[in-house]
Structure 1
Amino acid sequence: MEPALVLAHPDGDPFWNMACDEWLLARAMASPGRVYLRLYTWAVGTITLGYHQQYERAVDVRYLGDTPVVRRITGGRAVYHGQGELTYAIAAHPTDKIVPSLNGSVTASGHRLAEVLQVFLADLKIEAVYARASAPAERRPDYLHTAPCFASVSRYELTAQNRKVVASAQKRAAGAFLQHGAIKPHGPTTPEHPALGADAKCLPVVREQVTPERLLVLTKSFARAWEQVTGQATEMYQFTPDEFRAVERRHRLVATHPLEKRSFD
């Protein structure tokens, strides 16, 4: 069995971060059995939008300031990622022989990935549990467009001491999937960002910025959690020059059209 390839990318440009996740999905789509695990942080505080969200309804531009906004290719709702804040991505093309436990329904794979995150958080001394059902507010017709992601808990999202600590979204295409999400070990800051409906007089605050050195430690912990839950070995990885250039090409596209609905279907 080939190992999962593990990447750590500190202080990423927001458009590069999304471009990298998208490129990893494209590679997984073309490579049955391939698994990528990635942990990264943000060079500047950024708002990411869910694929189906309406920008005008999700973001109050009066309070946006110079905060970048970029659309994800995954669903869900808007998230504010603070500068230096931790985010994870898993891009995989499971088969009957390689991580077969992920080669099923969204529900089944979501459950298994939640286990990985739960083990990872336990290594950080955070006892997290996953929600068995979505919060009632999730059923409101306007909720997708008007509520920030950390405002409620969806099925298989993780909470600790009644606070949501991981918000995830998934995209599936051609037998592969990308799941990525924000990891806020101490729960979301208050407010997340004025443009997402918080008090406009307040500024977003990040409780903990992850240094490049700390990110490497966390990435190795994440890899161990993956090995424990899935049984697949892992290997630290860096992009080849050709791969880096391919991500850069995607980066230019995302930076030029950050709100465009980019698709792989």
Structure 2
Amino acid sequence: MAVVSLTCYLLPYMEADGAANMALDEALLERVAAEPGAGYLRTYGWSPATLSLGYFQDLDEVAADPRWRDAPLVRRATGGGAIWHDRELTYSLALPADHRGSQPGPWLYRAVHASIGAELRARGLDARARSEAGPHAPPAGAASGRPDRPFLCFTDRDPEDIVAASSKVVGSAARRRAGAVLQHGSILLRRSERAPELPGICDLIEADPRPEAWAGPIARCVAAALDLTLVDPGGPLVGSLHERACALEQAVYRDPAWTGRRSPTARRRAAARDG
């Protein structure tokens, strides 16, 4: 059976703060869950630079490292480790339930990362999935010395993360709703002063470090890998998405109760300690 290309609305590159960015991503997931006729793809930056916590991470972990104590903070609806969004490009992809990428399993993660890895190799960077990187792959295990996963996503080691010169440069996370999926991920472009241990692509090769310079190429390579036909969403559609995102921004992502939520593991530990 021939693969039918899915119409995918490509939103323009934009920069926003953490709450606005996460709210718009959730609005995209809501839209494809309710209206499965098309997908959505966007790239964006963060202004100001922001630390995003994974859904299951505890706020106490932020205070454990002095460099994050005064950093702008937002909690994602997706899992995984914390990401310091500075000098990087974030992509966000929302697919309806009937697209292959929405099915449970690693196919979407692998397909998106393979397309980005191919784009990086075309620019001269030997970047590939950790599972394919052989002796140049970063070692498995947490660098933080904790028995569980490390705090920062880019010090974690998933077999499908994209690594180059022994450093992770691309990592992603996903959330599903009513069969639809949202996957978003970070592409490190340049080393940040707050996280100097994490080099970016432009620290490893000569390339334009501006996120907006990467937005178009990344969107096109992801769309090609997933058989997506990119189209302009038009003003009214973009406006309705931003209207819903504004509501989510205020109700969820700017709510201290959401940002400060504790994981089930932390709640159990606290209950045992207080009991």
- TM-score, normalised to structure 1, is 0.78
Query: What secondary structure, in the 3-state scheme, does the structure 2 residue paired with 1:132 have?
Result: helix
Deviation at 1:191, TM superposition (A): 4.5
Partner of 2:128: 129
Q: Tell me what 1:203 maps to.
A: none
Q: How many residues align?
A: 241
For 1:33 and 1:118, the matched residues in 2 are separated by 29
Larger radius of gyration: 2
Is the CA contact 1:47–1:80 (under 8 Å) kept in the aligned structure 2? yes
Q: SS of the counterpart of 2:113? A: helix
Give the partner amino acid of 2:106: T
CA–CA distance in structure 2, aligned partners of residues 121 and 20 of structure 1: 27
2: distance between equivalents of 1:171 and 1:106? 12
Which one of the candidate residues 89, 92, 110 is aligned to 1:89? 92
Is residue 2:221 matched to residue 1:225? yes
Determine the structure 2 residue equivalent to 1:22: 26
Inter-CA distance 106–142: structure 2 relative to 1 (3 Å threshold): same
- Percent identity among equivalent residues? 25
Residue by residue over 1:195-237, the C-alpha shift from the partner in whole angstroms, topping out at 9 and shown as x without a partner, is xxx8xxxxxxx979965xx61x433212321343122211233
Indicate conservation of the 8 Å contact 1:4/1:34, yes or no: yes
Greater Cα offset, 59-68 or 159-168: 59-68
Match of 2:43 in 1: 39
2:17 aligned with 1:8, yes or no? no
Aligned mate of 1:236, from 232, 237, 262? 232
What CA distance in whole angstroms lies between the structure 2 residues aligned with 1:110 and 1:67?
29
- Per-residue deviation, 1:149: 1.0
2:248 is matched by which residue type in structure 1?
Answer: R
Structure 2: 5+ residue runs without aligned partners?
A: 133-137, 262-275
Per-residue CA deviations over 1:87-139 (Å, capped at 9, x if unaligned) read 111111142xxx43x24332222212222322343454433101229964159
Q: State the distance in 2 between where 1:127 and 1:4 align.
A: 30
Aligned match of 1:70: 74
Q: Which residue of 1 aligns with 2:186?
A: 182
Helix, strand or coil: the match of 2:116?
Answer: helix
1:178–1:109 distance in 2 versus 1, CA, 3 Å? same
TM-superposed CA distance for 1:171, in Å, is 1.1
Q: How much is the aligned-residue C-alpha RMSD, in angstroms?
A: 3.1
Report the CA distance shift for 1:66/1:103 in structure 2 as closer, same or farther (over 3 A). closer
Q: Deviations over 1:25-60 (max 9, x none)?
A: 111111224211110001111100011111102443
Change (3 A) 1:240 1:86: closer
C-alpha deviation, 1:256, in angstroms: 2.7
Q: What amino acid does structure 2 have at the position aligned with 1:242?
A: S
Q: Residue in 2 aligned with 1:201?
A: none
Contact 2:13 2:215 (8 Å CA) reproduced = no
Q: Distance in 2 between matches of 1:130 and 1:109?
A: 14
Which amino acid in 2 is paired with 1:89?
S
Shift of residue 190, structure 1, vs aligned partner: 6.2
1:192 and 2:195 matched: yes
Q: Give yes or no for contact 1:227–1:234 (8 Å, CA) kept in 2.
A: yes
TM-score, length of structure 2 as denominator length: 0.75
Q: Which residue of 2 aligns with 1:248?
A: 246
Judging changes above 3 Å, is the alpha-carbon distance between structure 1 residues 233 and 51 closer, same or farther for their aligned structure 2 residues? same
Task: Work out the CA distance in 2 between the residues paired with 1:209 and 1:78.
Answer: 26
Q: CA deviation at 1:166?
A: 0.7
